[in-house]
Structure 1
Amino acid sequence: MSPTAVDSSNKRKRSHKSKKVAEVAVPAHNGVEKARKKARKEREAEAVVEEPIVENDTEEEDSDEEAEEKSAEAIDGMGFKTMTEIQQKAIPPLLAGRDVLGAAKTGSGKTLAFLIPAIEMLSQLRFKPRNGTGVIVVSPTRELALQIFGVARELMEHHSQTFGICIGGANRSAEADKLRKGVNLLIATPGRLLDHLHNTQGFVFKNLRSLVIDEADRILEVGFEDEMRSIIKILPTERQTMLFSATQTTKVEDLARISLKAGPLYINVDHRAEHSTVQGLEQGYVLCDSDTRFRLLFSFLKKHQKKKVIVFLSSCASVDFYSELLNYIDLPVLGLHGKLKQQARTNRFFEFVNAQSGTLICTDVAARGLDIPEVDWVIQFDPPDDPRDYIHRVGRTARGANGKGRSLMFLLPSEVGFLKLLKESRVPLVEFELPANKILNIQSQLEALISKNYYLNKSAKDGYRSYLQSYASHSLRSVFDVNKLDLVKVAKSFGFSTPPRIDITLGAGLSRDKKVEGRRAYGSQPQQGRRPMKPGKRF
């Protein structure tokens, strides 16, 4: 389906159910019914009577009970049975119309905690396309927006309301056409949403009843603070607002103050937790020198080809290099980062989501909010920026109420200070010891390949340069000190016997002696022109 598509024919039966792309376990019928009854009692106690958004006409309307049955049928069809803590605590007040500020760690189930009440509200108010947009969900990234859209599509399968998505990189004119026709539930990224609010004539949002701000801390981290303030000013003030954030920062508090009504319900499901990560997650780290890193990663991926693995790197160029290298030597992987064109990002993401096994090499574009089913391993090949980013990365596995998964972080001996910070953040870690005889000795073949293949050589240089730049700009410089790197060993992890000759400026983070360019690691220039045939020797 095109990202801009709006499914206005939700009544028809689909030939097959899509895979479970919900963030976590969904409430069972009895859990949702209890939440509805509690919400009804609260509304009755406050003598609140909701009128339909449109007048009754000759078209037959569904009763509230029938609408609820449709939601229950969709939830049952998705195959989920239990409510998570955030769903138990958030759904009843949201059904009752309360503003909610929710704090829950990644994988807790908040996507369904806000979608279920939003869809119930649209159904009970009998929204039609001509009424415009009744619910807007704001998401920090395109991938997360697409995922929320997928969950909404399943939940609304038996409802008549329309839904759509507006994200950067997609066809804007097609989005505008859909908005003019009427999108009752809209999922959008901040920049594209603000564009349509300002410039799309015929986009009806005066009937907006609910605004959802998902991953609010991430929205602000990626620089959308001004856009969010503008969006909130434009939208109707008489609305329900739901704001969810994995962390509570000063900026998140400021956004909550301007977007939520006075006295919102604050829900924190993590404050009593012994650990900051979920119980079903087994977490470890391995200490290795820079020149061993890639050999260890290659050996691990080779052994776990039948597993579903996500590998996090620090830069787009490093993702490109290692993806190209691993695919070239017949170890299939997918590469994902923020500089890819939107269609490529979407295709690769959903290819991995729907795969039974495989490896995704990515930057932190995939670290927040995204729900990728049944991930067995999360590998942090390059260090995260801080403990919070570590937690978001490992949150891609062991998702759901009883989820299981494993994570492995690569650390240099000079980086062990990061373990203390993780311990202070209540992250339980154990050291994994990997015998040296289990690490494949492929360094000489790697260096020979990089020296002979012009394209891989160029990609390796770009990856090497971007790795150093990323390391030099690390926020925890007391732990990740670029001056402590052995550049010869770092170069070996990119397939060079000596540091390559590159143009690089790392600023004050790198001392003068580290700025000296290395000599070319091989005796002759790499081959020019077309990509050469693969060497006969495999490794």
Structure 2
Amino acid sequence: MKRKGTQMDGQAAAREEEEVEESPSKKAKVAKKGRGAVSILTDRAFSDLPLSEPTLKALDEMGFKTMTEIQARTIPLLLEGRDVIGAAQTGSGKTLAFLVPAIEMMHFAPCLPRNGTKVIVISPTRELAMQTHHVAMGLFNHHTQTLGLAVGGVPIGKEAQQLVKGVNLLVATPGRLLDHLKKTKNFVYKNLECLIIDEADRMLGLNFKDEMEEILKRLPMKRQTILFSATQSTEVFEFAKLSFKKKAAENEAAQPKPVYIGVDDKKPKATVSGLQQYCCIVESEEKFLALYTFLKKQRSKKTIVFFSTRQAVKFYSELLGYINIECFHMEGTQKQSARNSNLHGFIQAKSGILLCTDVAARGIDIPSVDWVVQYDAPREPEMYIHRVGRTARGEGGEGKALIFLLTQELTFLSYLKEKIVGENYYLSQSAKSAYKSCIEAYNSHQNKSSFSVHKLDLKGVAKSFCFSSPPKVNVSLESRPSKSRNRQDRCRSKHGISCTNPYGNMGVKNRQLAKY
């Protein structure tokens, strides 16, 4: 083992993630651990909103009094009927942010079982759908509307019977929802008023794009649409445009565009402030020994270990059991009952180990996880964020994350940093703007002999904004270069330097910026 416990820069992680609401008991525990953590709560109470008495009573019983930032910014817009694209950190409270307005809409409009489904929430995994359904059950405690769940691993016939009777709010996974839309007769969804797509990036990552496009074609287009995504990539942005398409109407031009709400866009770190990240560099033959030693020392803690394949989960679960380290395990081929049993057992345990694949990486709310260990590096940079989001959740949450890397895999840390910014539409635009302003600010120095923008290493500056090479931007250079510099410019015109191509054909090899 060459080096162990190297702490990673928080920004190397990337953009953070989703949430499923925490129980009041977890909130109390988290509050005790909040040493120096940045608060996600606002000073606004749910009672400040024009909510119905049944909803306010349910929120109070569930222990929710004060809104988080995503809730305070999103709920008023959704109550007005606006379409919203949302992005927020893990544990930020977005499940309540979309459920509360949906339930309020059904409360104030005629909504009986015979009216069919008014609201559909689509979740990428069974576990996330079940947890969203659980939160909705609490909010429905004093309402008369009906609630349903449609996920794989459950007999479809029973679900169909419930849908025919009338389900006002349905939480479903994409595949099972599409099955019901195609096959379940007398499933009334023509009155749909609100579609909620939770974790759109994860939906695309699990190859649900075709199913989602088919679902969107079948559902009424005249509706309110809410889309939440942990990462705002170009692919997600294109999917959002498809999701928010409206039926052609006379006043189509006057229809307001979806509102984008990203509560973390201006924060310096992509991961939550209470998360400490570490890297363990180890050779292949010593990798399991390092894991065994770590787990043995952390037996009193609650630890999740991620593997890349279900076969690895099965093998290491059996192997650790033989050497007296008992583990829970979850992977995609398990029966739903077995997955639920293992998940419930780990949640209830004060300490323990859960081995899993990425099936558990998104949306599952497990209280008080101390460590997230990545035995195998994630296939995609975004998945790193999804994995570490299982710890340091909620208000003031704290936790630690450890990733095992081979010596030849160390470049993954740099890749992780660059890839997230490059593929994140909103963050990439922000980085370009910041890069441009940095160059222009440098050029504004009065002491040109010391601060010459023409001598500035643009490639190095670009890397500080997470670009592998300088992005193409139009930079305004007001200062006039020296006569010798002008002569060099004229000589180098053959290299293609112009106002539209300030880097020239040779890029940063000879001349980085052109005066124009």
TM-score by length of 1: 0.67
1:214 corresponds to which residue? Answer: 198
Q: Note the C-alpha offset of 1:189.
A: 0.6
* Structure 2 counterparts to residues 121-132 of structure 1, below 5 A: 121-132=105-116
Q: Which amino acid aligns with 2:122?
A: V
Q: State the identity as a percent.
A: 55
CA distance in 2, matches of 1:359, 1:237: 45
SS at match of 2:136: helix
Task: Mark the CA change 1:82 to 1:377 in structure 2 (over 3 Å): closer, same or farther.
Answer: farther
Residues 313 and 363 in structure 1, CA contact (< 8 A), matched pair in contact too = yes
TM-score by length of 2: 0.69
SS at match of 2:317: helix
Q: Which amino acid aligns with 2:74?
A: A
For residue 268 of structure 1, the aligned residue among 256, 262, 269 is 262
> Does 2:334 correspond to 1:350?
no
SS at match of 1:208: coil
SS at match of 1:93: helix
1:408 corresponds to which residue? Answer: 402
2:318 corresponds to which residue? Answer: 324
Residues 44 and 66 in structure 2, CA contact (< 8 A), matched pair in contact too = no
1:391 corresponds to which residue? Answer: 385
SS at match of 1:378: strand
Task: Mark the CA change 1:240 to 1:27 in structure 2 (over 3 Å): closer, same or farther.
Answer: farther
SS at match of 1:360: strand
* Structure 2 counterparts to residues 516-531 of structure 1, below 5 A: none
1:147 corresponds to which residue? Answer: 131
Tell me the alpha carbon deviations over residues 26-84 of structure 1, each in whole angstroms, 9 at most, x when there is no partner: 98995223343xxxxxxxxxxxxxxxxxxxxxxxxxxxx6xx22222222222234322
CA distance in 1, matches of 2:137, 2:326: 31
Tell me the alpha carbon deviations over residues 362-419 of structure 1, each in whole angstroms, 9 at most, x when there is no partner: 0111111221111111001111123221111101111112111111111112211112
2:430 corresponds to which residue? Answer: none
- Larger RCO (CA within 8 A; separation ≥ 6): 2
Tell which deviates more after alignment, 415-424 or 372-381.
415-424
1:287 corresponds to which residue? Answer: 281
Residues 153 and 336 in structure 2, CA contact (< 8 A), matched pair in contact too = yes
CA distance in 1, matches of 2:128, 2:228: 14
Q: Note the C-alpha offset of 1:122.
A: 1.5
> Does 2:320 correspond to 1:336?
no
Q: Which amino acid aligns with 1:301?
A: L
SS at match of 1:267: strand
> Does 2:201 correspond to 1:187?
no
* Structure 2 counterparts to residues 136-535 of structure 1, below 5 A: 136-260=120-244, 261=246, 263-424=257-418
Residues 201 and 232 in structure 2, CA contact (< 8 A), matched pair in contact too = yes
> Does 2:66 correspond to 1:82?
yes
Q: Which amino acid aligns with 2:171?
A: I
1:108 corresponds to which residue? Answer: 92
SS at match of 1:194: helix
Task: Mark the CA change 1:29 to 1:104 in structure 2 (over 3 Å): closer, same or farther.
Answer: closer
Alignment RMSD, CA only? 2.4
Tell which deviates more after alignment, 241-250 or 135-144.
241-250
Task: Mark the CA change 1:327 to 1:78 in structure 2 (over 3 Å): closer, same or farther.
Answer: farther
SS at match of 1:157: helix
SS at match of 1:83: strand
CA distance in 2, matches of 1:139, 1:172: 17
Task: Mark the CA change 1:26 to 1:344 in structure 2 (over 3 Å): closer, same or farther.
Answer: farther
Tell which deviates more after alignment, 81-90 or 378-387.
81-90
SS at match of 1:255: helix
Q: Which amino acid aligns with 1:365?
A: V
CA distance in 2, matches of 1:91, 1:420: 37
Q: Which amino acid aligns with 1:89?
A: R
For residue 34 of structure 1, the aligned residue among 48, 67, 70 is 48
SS at match of 1:117: helix
Structure 2 unmatched ranges of 5 or more? 1-22, 31-38, 247-254, 422-516
Task: Mark the CA change 1:281 to 1:82 in structure 2 (over 3 Å): closer, same or farther.
Answer: farther
Q: Which amino acid aligns with 2:361?
A: A
